[in-house]
Amino acid sequence: MKRVLFLSAALLAAGFARAEDKAMTDDQKISYFIARQVGENLRSQGLMVDVPTFSRALEEALAGKPSAMTPEATQEAMKMAQAKAGEFRKEQGEISKKGGEDFLAANKKKRGVKVTKSGLQYKVGKNGKGPHPKATDRVKVNYRGTLINGEEFDSSYKRGQPAEFPLNAVIPGWTEAIQLMSPGAKYTFYIPGELAYGERGTPGIPPNATLIFEVELLEIMKQEAGNQAPLPTKAIQGKGTTSSPAK
């Protein structure tokens, strides 16, 4: 009974949210979108702001009014914000690293899981046929990426378009992992943080996070001049992209 009531409440809440969305003007939708983006970004950095003060400063900035803080106070506030964000990332990184180590230690004991010298773990779901790609090859894949808690952060399946990229342009764990496959293969990879985004992390992926990818290698592609097929999203990009981890 409680579950039914909870579900009904959830559906009603969703209905109200949709009704509110339809009632918004274009300017209100844009404003809501921007505010959500700012709020989520601040939360991801561990920066919990005083909302009334935040709103006041925002209104003043939009109105072109001078800042209520001196340049010296502004500089000090910036340093404090950077320090708090740094402390938060360090704490999150330590928690994420310990969680990843515990997960991998238990996971490697599971049936069918193999471990490479680098610490990469993988499980074969389906074998493919043909050659293995080299690090210098370009490949086409479908994939789904999750954190160890099951939270999905990326999926080419949801975008409805496979990803194409040179293997030497992605995170180290992917460069190694995809070379184990042949076209048509489906593997699950468990990538330690040091082979993924390391201490840097990225939006949606905490520092030192162990990542899980379900990958299907569709094709090893020829390197052709002018081939500008889209690179994968933030989840696997390597050096040379704005949201990529260091290789």
Q: What is the DSSP string of the chain?
A: -HHHHHHHHHHHHHHHHHHHHHH--HHHHHHHHHHHHHHHHHHHTT----HHHHHHHHHHHHTTPPPSS-HHHHHHHHHHHHHHHHHHHHHHHHHHHHHHHHHHHHHTTSTTEEE-TTS-EEEEEE---SPPPPTT-EEEEEEEEEETTS-EEEEHHHHTS-EEEEGGGB-HHHHHHHTT--TT-EEEEEE-GGGTTTTT-BTTB-TT--EEEEEEEEEEEP--TT--PPPP-TTTB-TTSTTPPP-
Cβ burial, residue 205 (10 Å; 0-12/13-18/19+)? buried
| Residues 242/172, Cβ–Cβ less than 8 Å | no
pLDDT above 70 covers a percentage of the chain that reads 81
**Mean pLDDT of all residues in the chain?**
83
Q: Residue 18 pLDDT more than 70?
A: no
Which are the catalytic amino acids?
Answer: 143, 153-154, 171, 197, 213
Q: Residue 229 pLDDT more than 50?
A: no
**What tens digit of pLDDT does each residue of 83-138 get?**
988 888 888 888 889 999 999 999 999 999 999 999 999 999 999 999 999 999 99
pTM beyond 0.85: the answer is: no
Q: Residue 160 pLDDT more than 50?
A: yes
pLDDT (0 to 100) of residue 244: 31
Q: Residue 245 pLDDT more than 80?
A: no
Q: Residue 246 pLDDT more than 60?
A: no
Q: Residue 225 pLDDT more than 60?
A: no
> What domains can be seen in the chain, in order of their start residue?
112-221 (3.10.50.40)
Closest CA to 193 of 178, 182, 209, 204: 209
| 39 vs 149, higher pLDDT | 149
pLDDT above 90 covers a percentage of the chain that reads 56
pLDDT (0 to 100) of residue 19: 52
- Average pLDDT (65-94) is 89
